[in-house]
Structure 1
Amino acid sequence: MPANRDDGPATGRLRPPGLAMLLAEARGIFEFNTSLLLSPLLMRAPIGDGHPVLTLPGFLASDLSMAPMRRYLKELGYDTHAWRMGRNTGGVARMQSALLDRLKEIHAEAGRKISIVGWSLGGIYARHLALQAPDMVRCVVTLGSPFANDVRATNATRLYEALSGETVEETSELQQAIAGDLPVPVTSIYSKSDGIVNWRTCVLRPSDTAANIEVRFASHVGLGVNAAALWALADRLAQAEGQFMQFDRSGPFAIAYAPAEHAQSA
């Protein structure tokens, strides 16, 4: 692989995004406002079948951060659920029991398999839940989640370790499991202009039940309210249970998606 700015000069390890990209994360508010303006267009997405969707927020975020997404999905016909655990201060190992209990609660109430949408750290939780309880999970969609390659290549790693009490090295065996293939259909939505997470940590190994969708120019903090990302999410959730198709990049937001072969290259 040719050298690039994402790689360390001597170790070959991935680097977190640079300062310029980190500062550019402020454009997330623009992405949110754009989605509001484009809401009539977004409502042309496929209608849902009413199955439950659990949303898991990113590091330091709460259910409020994913409220616009849940409202959008609810209007499309899904039975949306928040995680109800307050602010996400991290801890993949520490949170696994409570997350599994929440999944079981929703499954018992709905009597149907649950799609899980995780933003950033929430996507890591989502992938772990699919490994723990594949019989309860319909599909997983992650947004800017660093689950593969060098997962330390984020601008939040040190703060995560300080607040969660867990280090990446301590949970390396768990991280390896999360980074592998899942027993359910999975889609990773990410952006190469992410200022928090190195995009290479978000790329799935392509398979018949896995898809990578790169959204051009999206920020990390705006990915969950980005119009093109929301359209892609709606497309993924609308697939019939037990079926999986690769993402069709045509449609009203076609210009925002990188070609499939480009999106899946590492």
Structure 2
Amino acid sequence: MALFRRKPPSHPAPSSAPSSAPMPAPGLPLMALELRAPWEFGAVLPAWPVLQRAPLGDGHTVIVFPGLTAGDATTAPLRRYLDSRNYETLGWGQGLNLGPREGVLENAKRQVHEASEASGGKVSLVGWSLGGIYARELAKEMPECVRCVITLGTPFAGPHTSTNAWRIYQFASGRDIERETEHYNLPEAPPVPTTSIFSRTDGVVAWRGSIQTPAAHNPHTENIEVVASHFGIGLNPSAWWAVADRLGQPLAEPGTWRPFERPRLPGLGLVFPDPHR
């Protein structure tokens, strides 16, 4: 199986392609702010009563993919929260995510197919960082099985040098990232509702590399900004609220998708920066 679906040679480069503008990786000050990740998770407890006011789900299956060099243990808190909102959550079940080594994408594709068949409906895919690349590309390969895609700090719209993790990726996966991605259209959105949750204070991924450009073939794309670190975005209460809100949309009928609205509950408006500022 190819790593991702190949881009046809004649496919025009999208406006968010890496060559469109310089996109440097986050500098040392933002990298230093990654140390706040444990405090983000610590904020879950005081935020729990508010988090329980997020929309309840319809019971469909959600698969959560971890970031680079991480495993299911890192996504367990998010999955437990989604369980409490009436979802059937699954980890990816492949140990540490060391990149798309032999068999990884095949196993992930099989998991999505089997989960869809077992539930009798489409499944939602949530991916943290590199896991979001998997989620997006799997949805492109098998949209008949995928309900929606949500990514957390995922660098799909910038060059590999717009992250501070590309050398780790090459070491862990054993692959040349530049050669691997030049033939694939990673900025292209899947043909299902797709949400990118990002932070301007991400110390690993340049935030512009997580911005989804509206596409004519899929108007159901959006970007949600939160205040989070890269290592903490999957443990951040505001990101959890956004994930639950997006999963809770009734998407069974055409025209039912709606873009994210900043919550009006006390305090929550402050953790979702004004996108028009």
Fold similarity call, TM over 0.5: yes
Q: Distance in 2 between matches of 1:173 and 1:138?
A: 28
Name which of structure 1's ranges 83-92 and 188-197 shifts more when overlaid on structure 2: 83-92
CA RMSD of aligned residues (A): 1.7
User: Which residue identity lines up with residue 119 of structure 2 in the other structure?
Assistant: A
In the other structure, the counterpart of 2:161 is 152
Among 83, 95, 102, the alignment partner of 2:92 is 83
SS in 2 for 1:179: coil
In the other structure, the counterpart of 1:104 is 113
In the other structure, the counterpart of 2:239 is 229
Displacement after TM superposition at 1:83 (Å)? 0.4
Q: Distance in 1 between matches of 2:21 and 2:148?
A: 33
Q: Distance in 1 between matches of 2:231 and 2:264?
A: 24
Name which of structure 1's ranges 16-25 and 133-142 shifts more when overlaid on structure 2: 16-25
Judge conservation of contact 2:220–2:257 (CA < 8 Å) in 1: yes
SS in 1 for 2:160: coil
**1:244 maps onto 2:257 in alignment:** yes
**1:215 maps onto 2:226 in alignment:** yes
**1:258 maps onto 2:273 in alignment:** yes
TM-score for both structures, normalised by structure 1: 0.89
Q: Distance in 1 between matches of 2:251 and 2:61?
A: 12
Distance 1:115 1:12, change over 3 A: closer
**1:183 maps onto 2:191 in alignment:** yes
User: Which residue identity lines up with residue 203 of structure 2 in the other structure?
Assistant: G
Distance 1:141 1:174, change over 3 A: farther
Displacement after TM superposition at 1:251 (Å)? 2.4
Judge conservation of contact 2:132–2:152 (CA < 8 Å) in 1: yes
Distance 1:254 1:93, change over 3 A: farther
**1:30 maps onto 2:45 in alignment:** no
In the other structure, the counterpart of 1:62 is 71
Judge conservation of contact 2:157–2:210 (CA < 8 Å) in 1: yes
CA deviation vs aligned residue, 1:19-56 (integer Å, no higher than 9, x gap)? 12112111011010101221111000000000000000
Judge conservation of contact 2:123–2:147 (CA < 8 Å) in 1: yes
In the other structure, the counterpart of 1:6 is none
Displacement after TM superposition at 1:93 (Å)? 7.9
In the other structure, the counterpart of 1:8 is none
Displacement after TM superposition at 1:168 (Å)? 2.2
Displacement after TM superposition at 1:205 (Å)? 0.8
**Identity rate, percent:** 42
Aligned residues between the structures: 250
User: Which residue identity lines up with residue 203 of structure 1 in the other structure?
Assistant: I
User: Which residue identity lines up with residue 212 of structure 2 in the other structure?
Assistant: L
Gaps in structure 2 of 5+ consecutive residues: 1-19
Judge conservation of contact 2:133–2:154 (CA < 8 Å) in 1: yes
SS in 2 for 1:171: helix
Judge conservation of contact 1:147–1:175 (CA < 8 Å) in 2: no
Among 167, 175, 178, the alignment partner of 1:166 is 175
Q: Distance in 2 between matches of 1:250 and 1:141?
A: 18
CA deviation vs aligned residue, 1:150-201 (integer Å, no higher than 9, x gap)? 233111101101110222222224541x311321000000000000111011
User: Which residue identity lines up with residue 208 of structure 2 in the other structure?
Assistant: R
Judge conservation of contact 2:69–2:172 (CA < 8 Å) in 1: no
Distance 1:110 1:174, change over 3 A: farther
Deviating above 3 A after TM superposition, structure 1's stretches of 4 or more consecutive aligned residues are: none
SS in 2 for 1:141: strand
Among 144, 148, 161, the alignment partner of 1:135 is 144
User: Which residue identity lines up with residue 29 of structure 1 in the other structure?
Assistant: P
TM-score for both structures, normalised by structure 2: 0.86
User: Which residue identity lines up with residue 192 of structure 1 in the other structure?
Assistant: R
Judge conservation of contact 1:92–1:125 (CA < 8 Å) in 2: no
Name which of structure 1's ranges 128-137 and 241-250 shifts more when overlaid on structure 2: 241-250
